[in-house]
Each structure stands twice: as C-alpha cells, then as structure tokens.
Amino acid sequence: MKSALVLSFLAFTLFSCSGDDNGTAGEDTAQLTVSMTDAPGDFDAVFIDVEDVMIKTDMDGTEDEGWESLGEVNTGRYDLLELTGGVTQVLADVEVPAGYLGQIRLVLGDDNAIVVDGEETAIAVPSAQQSGLKLQVDQELEAGEQYVFLLDFDVEESIVRQGNGGFSLKPVIRVSAQAGAGAIEGEVHPSETRSLVRAQNASTTISAYTDMEGNFKIHGVPAGTYKITVIPDVASNLPEFEEDNVVVEANETVNLETLYID
C-alpha cells in the first residue's frame, strides 16, 4: 500500500469506460456528471460496490435531511484497477436544477473487497459510513453549463489494515470539479511495466498509472504550471523521468506525446 490510488468516483450513464458526456443542459438546469477513474494502487484488485449516488441542495435541514437520489444510477461492483491510462467509468449522467449543490453522497453496498497476492478480503465499512460517504462540494451550478465531478480516493490512506489481518474503509477523498479544469495525457516508453505519472506544483499533486500500452491521462488538473515525474515500476530498474514547466490551461488537454525513459 505504498502509492495512492485515485478513485475518481462516479459519473452518470454507463455507456463505456470513456466517461464523455453528450448531454445538453436546459435553460433552468445544469448537466451533472460524476466520474470514476483510477490512479496509483498496489493491490491486485480493489472492488467497490456502488448502490446509489445522492445529492443535497438544501443545507438548512439536519445532516440526514434533504438527500435525493440522482436516479438511473448504474449500480454494480467495480474494480478500480481496471480504470487506468485515463479511462473513466460513467455511473450516471443527469440534468439537475441549476443552483447550489452542497454535498454528494456515495452509497456503498456490502460487497467491497481488495485482492492481495490472489486472495480476496472483504473491506469492512464502519457504521458511521454505512449511510453513505458524504463529500462536500459547495458549488453553484449555472443553468446551461456542464459540470464533471471526479471523486478521488487516496487508497493508501483510505484502506486501513486491521489488527486481525482484515481491512476497513476510512475514506480520504479529493473532490475535483472539472468545470474549468484541464488534463494531461501522453505515452511512456518503454511500456513493458506500468509507470506512475505524477503532476505536481506548490498547491496540487495528482497522479495516474499508465495502461499496458504506456498510455496515461490525468484528469481534473487545475490550470497552472506543473512538473511531471514518471516513476517506473521498481522491478524494471529504469530511472525516473522529469519534465518541468508543463502549462495546463482551463478546459484544455495537454498532450505530452511520447516520454522516453532511458
């Protein structure tokens, strides 16, 4: 458990693993997408059992009041480690009333597990989390606009090994709104082993794994200038690679093309 997995969680409508949305928001609504993607993780598999996705727009009531299901959520058990190289999994894609969005709640079932050295072990969800994982958003949604939210699980911090040898879920999640965010993509060669690609500046660190062909895409990157570090698998004996001054603009994807590790 030495690197961070990103569970960029949810998006609405399970078309494929590309996560792009073609919906158009109306005059009084905004298009809301919540997407799931993967960054670093050192397990054979990480299964998350998604039962529902809910939102809360009225923050005047109690903590448990005012929640509404997004409806038509593509529930299921998803292996986060299949989402690499910039692939995202759409769980739902809906129109919601324009206005204030306070929180998103991810409701999990009981079939959560990790696989280590070929052995599957259930992940216990503490009683405090059984009503759903509540994520603070505090975003004003403007009519006619499209918003994509990435919910990033830091697996190193979120999966806790218990004294009895089991595992429990203590979620540490970064919420990234992609309205105005950019992305960084490219290829790493040689690509025989997966590499971790990290984008970092003074205020932000985001990372993703390459897929088996060396492709990667880091989603939800705030506009700014970044240092890119490629960290190959230790067994490859390849050195790290760095590229400085990569500028990311709002709503743009920077293609670094091919990064060669000598």
What integer is the mean pLDDT of 103-123? 89
Asked whether 130 and 112 are in contact (CB, 8 A), the reply is no
CATH superfamily of 182-260: Carboxypeptidase-like, regulatory domain (2.60.40.1120)
Residue 60, classed as helix, strand or coil, is coil
AA identity, residue 36: M
Length of the chain: 262
What does pTM read for this prediction? 0.61
Provide the mean pLDDT of the chain: 77
Q: Does the pLDDT of residue 7 top 70, yes or no?
A: no
Residue 120, classed as helix, strand or coil, is strand
User: What are the tens digits of pLDDT across the range 55-81?
Assistant: 998 877 777 788 999 888 888 898 877
Structure tokens of 110? 């009981």
Q: Does the pLDDT of residue 19 top 50, yes or no?
A: no
Q: Does the pLDDT of residue 146 top 80, yes or no?
A: no
Structure tokens of 32? 């809301």
pLDDT of residue 154: 66
User: What is the β-pairing status of strands 182-189 and 146-153?
Assistant: unpaired
Q: How confident is the model at residue 226 (pLDDT cuts 50, 70, 90)?
A: very high
Q: What are phi and psi of 11, to 5 degrees?
A: -170, 155
Asked whether 99 and 25 are in contact (CB, 8 A), the reply is no
User: What is the β-pairing status of strands 195-200 and 224-232?
Assistant: antiparallel
Give me the residue spans of the domains in the chain.
29-177, 182-260
pLDDT of residue 10: 38
What integer is the mean pLDDT of 144-168? 75
